[in-house]
Amino acid sequence: MKNPLAGVIGGFRYPVVVLSVAIGLLLFVPFAVLVATSVTSGQLILFPPQGFSLKWYVSVLGDRAWTDPFWLSMGVSLAATAIAVLLGTSGALAVHRIVRPGVGRLVRTLFILPIALPPVAYAVGLHRINILFEGLNKSLVVLVLGEAIIAMPYVFVLVSSAMNRVDPALRLAASTMGASWPMILRRVELPIVLPTVITGAIFAFSVVFDEVVLSVFLTPPGTQTFPLAMLSAAREAFSPNLTAASTMVSLAALALLGIVTVVGNRRARGRRPVRKVSST
């Protein structure tokens, strides 16, 4: 069993392997420590943990100081994701229809711009708006909209690259067959890019759920998003509540990723084999 790469990398093989392992550890060790400290039976975040118990999990699940921020974050993330998916997808479909290349490039850049914007500057700007309009700062409107704008480029980039892989003749073919543009959108383009839209939505959701800068500035007084709750928990007391909560959201994220992969694979597999021929 000869590895063809071995010859290419040659003497550099060992440093490359060592570096890869180091990077892997950098990702894995903090997570391992996180999980380990969360199952301690002691009162402090300590490594190695003292004894084993799930009491901190029970404590987090029963503590409104943790569950309220969680549900707030879920709500904000879902709403912002919905808006981001709507804007990003329709933007990608629209940009694909722009004929003049100069205009297309400009609009494309505008849609990607929010990624490049420093979140702090953006948050300060939104904060001013919140102050200007009384009552707005008690609602989640500006927070949701701000998070949606930050998440939108992820959806836009994914969906437009999927559109680039679609044969441009499909649209022409559909139009010669009498399909109007709304029908082409609904029956041809959207179904083809739908898996990518779902991937984009998951990306957007995780970006928003994790986002802390906008939350700091825009969360209404007396409430907290989940990342904010973690931040303040870390500042106030070093209780294993923090690591238990972190472990739970991490596992939830992994589970979500797993479901998406399994569903995606099943879809891809379902496409190939010949389905039973039924009489239509």
Query: Which chain residues interact with another protein by CB under 8 A?
Result: 167, 169-170, 172-180, 183, 187-188, 191-192, 271-278, 280
Cβ atoms of residues 203 and 153 within 8 Å? no
Report in angstroms how near the CB of residue 93 gets to another protein at its nearest: 16
For another protein, the closer of residues 138 and 186 by Cβ is 186
For another protein, the closer of residues 116 and 169 by Cβ is 169
Q: Phi first, then psi: what are they for 41, rounded to 5°? A: -100, 0
| Cβ neighbours around 37 below 10 Å, total | 24
Report in angstroms how near the CB of residue 276 gets to another protein at its nearest: 7
Angstrom distance (rounded) from CA 206 to CA 249 = 11
Report in angstroms how near the CB of residue 184 gets to another protein at its nearest: 9
User: How far out from the chain centre does Cα 88 lie?
Assistant: 14
| Cβ neighbours around 60 below 10 Å, total | 24
For another protein, the closer of residues 109 and 180 by Cβ is 180
Q: Phi first, then psi: what are they for 143, rounded to 5°? A: -60, -50
Report in angstroms how near the CB of residue 99 gets to another protein at its nearest: 12
Structure tokens belonging to residue 27: 């990702």
Report in angstroms how near the CB of residue 100 gets to another protein at its nearest: 12
For another protein, the closer of residues 104 and 119 by Cβ is 104
Cβ atoms of residues 200 and 89 within 8 Å? yes
For another protein, the closer of residues 36 and 166 by Cβ is 166
User: How far out from the chain centre does Cα 123 lie?
Assistant: 19
Angstrom distance (rounded) from CA 5 to CA 84 = 42
For another protein, the closer of residues 139 and 180 by Cβ is 180
Structure tokens belonging to residue 200: 């984009």
Report in angstroms how near the CB of residue 275 gets to another protein at its nearest: 5
